[in-house]
Amino acid sequence: MSTNLLTTPRILIAPDKFKGSLTAAQVADSLAAGLLQDNPLAQVHTLPLADGGDGSVAAALGAGFQALTIPITGPTGDPATTTVAFDGTTAVVEVATTAGLQMLPAARLAPRESSSVGFGQAIRAVLAHRPARIVLALGGSATTDGGAGMFSALGAVFADRAGQAFVPTGATLGQIAEADLTGLVDLGGVELIAANDVQNPLLGRHGAAAVYGPQKGASPDDVKVLEAGLGCLLRRLWEAGWPAEEAAGVPGAGAAGGLGWAAMLLGARMVSGAGFFLDLLGFDAHAAGCDLVITGEGKLDTQTLSGKLPLVVARRANPVPVIAVVGHNALDTDQLPAHGIEKVYALSAMTDQDSATDARLSAALLRQTGQHIARALTPDAHTTHTADAL
């Protein structure tokens, strides 16, 4: 590590979640505990981060936003509640905690039956608090309904060939014969931001159904049904006067089962989730004057190099040294210094057990890693440390 040895280093710990085991706040707190155990004089600050996926609301709450608890309908129709983060001006609403995979009963995937209606209900409820801006965090969806459920919750009416109104799911999008948008809630004066880091269009072999449907449990036959249904929804919304065809090809339209496309039709501006949340949570101000920034996520892989949160943190922190602490590193570490990450500590290299689904083990290993980093930063550091071999 090229970082200068310091007795009282100023350290910012700014990680994403370790999906499956720890929230971003738990990751940050565990690392901080280890650092301070070996160097009580260190000035350690934590800033849990998110990239627009699940954990975005939690990160906003950690940065001082207030929690709003909202009753919704879950992705398969069960009553549920979600939390929205609100600071009086900006609200953060997550797909993950309104129509997400984590909300499926007994984790049973439901690619055909699921809906985004809960996401729309949360948006509608937060409008009563008169936000100037609503951030739509699009990661972690369980559904591929093209936002039809969300539109229904916001006042759109979909009818079948018999004229019967219904709330579509992925499987029933193809039954939509007419879309009536006259009852949509008024979103005038509210800035909509869609936070997303995928570039897929709505339809086709790179689209929402083909690429992400299988991750949500869709079989090849299911993918065909979902693709055809999205095409039907597109035609009905185009007939109702929306620029549905034009928006379908915009990068990011296929995010969250087509909710990226649906958000754009509502007037949302698509932004990079990682960069936007760094701005929203005040990363630059927190990093100013630091001697070291520690970031991380559950897994470093080729997707990380395309601009996921650890690399965005490294670019923004420059010239401050950056260390990454991750659950598993699937990259050649020689690639990382060129991206501003000086060193990587991987929990998977510290144990033969699977820490990815073990919160207690992950927390313990993170505390140990914090100790290793503290020793490497202080003048009395040992010549060799266990973590240096990671």
Say if residues 149 and 115 touch (Cβ distance below 8 Å): yes
What is the DSSP-derived secondary structure letter of residue 272? E
The single residue listed with the structure tokens 């996921």 is 308
- 336 φ, ψ (degrees, to nearest 5): -80, -35
Q: How many Cβ atoms from other residues are within 10 Å of residue 184's Cβ?
A: 13
- Tell me whether domains 10-49+282-389 and 56-274 share a fold: no
Helix orientation angle between 359-377 and 24-38, rounded to the nearest 10 degrees: 40
Torsion angle of the four alpha carbons 5, 9, 14, 17, in this order, in degrees rounded to the nearest 10 = 70
Q: Which amino acid is at 32?
A: A
* List of E strands, the chain: 10-13, 43-46, 66-73, 79-86, 90-94, 133-137, 157-159, 165-166, 178-180, 191-196, 269-272, 292-295, 299-300, 322-326, 328-329, 343-346
Contacts of 267 (CB under 8 A, 6+ apart): 187, 192
Cα distance between residue 74 and residue 86, in whole Å? 21
- Asked if 171 and 229 touch (Cβ cutoff 8 Å), the reply is yes
Structure confidence at residue 380 (pLDDT): 57
Query: Average pLDDT of each block of 10 consecutive residues along the chain (390 residues)?
Result: 65 94 95 96 95 92 95 97 98 97 91 97 98 96 97 98 97 98 96 94 98 96 98 98 97 97 97 93 95 94 81 94 94 78 94 91 97 84 38
Domain boundaries defined on the chain: 10-49+282-389, 56-274
Is residue 132 within a helix (H) or strand (E), and if so which, with residue range? Answer: none
Q: Indicate the pTM of the whole model.
A: 0.90
- CATH number listed for the domain at residues 56-274: 3.90.1510.10
Element (H, E) at 28: helix 24-38
pLDDT at 229: 98
Phi-psi region of 129 (alpha: psi -120 to 50; beta: other; left: phi over 0): alpha
Q: What is the CATH code for 10-49+282-389? A: 3.40.50.10350
Q: Are 93 and 126 in contact (CB under 8 A)?
A: yes
Pinpoint the alpha helices (H) of 202-258: 220-239, 244-248
How far, in Å, are 67, 213, 239, 273 from residue 47 at the CA level? 18, 33, 46, 16
